[in-house]
Amino acid sequence: MFWPITTQYYGTYIDIKSQTNVTVEWIMFLAWIIIALKMKDTAIFYKPNNSNLILAVPTFTVLLPTFLAFPMDVPAMLVLPHIAYLILFLTSILVYLRKILTERVQNLT
């Protein structure tokens, strides 16, 4: 969680590219998918809401390391969860932007 802030070791001294970190991140990703689908929480992302634009922050925190290696490169095993989150966040933002644009076009006519 603190790797974007510092690249120095802390706590249990787990490296971002270690097998331990990759395994923990995959377990958390799969647990989130199972819980979100079972609770139908993913439907929230597909409804236009003013708070959807807040997802621009996590979108960029997923986008920058995955594709631009900034502030650090992502281990290859973690690219799939990053892309899944990126798609989810971008979809939510685009749904809201579509609502805004549709309302403005209707107001112009």
**Does residue 58 sit within a domain?**
yes
Total domains in the chain come to 1
pLDDT < 70 stretches in the chain? 1-11, 66, 69-72
> What's the confidence (pLDDT) of residue 58?
81
Enclosing domain of residue 59 = 19-108
**Does residue 69 sit within a domain?**
yes
**Does residue 87 sit within a domain?**
yes
**Does residue 70 sit within a domain?**
yes
**Does residue 94 sit within a domain?**
yes
**Does residue 68 sit within a domain?**
yes
**Does residue 1 sit within a domain?**
no
Q: What is the pLDDT of residues 84-99, one digit of tens each?
A: 988 888 999 999 999 9
**Does residue 12 sit within a domain?**
no
Residue 14's nearest CA partner among 2, 27, 5, 26 is 2
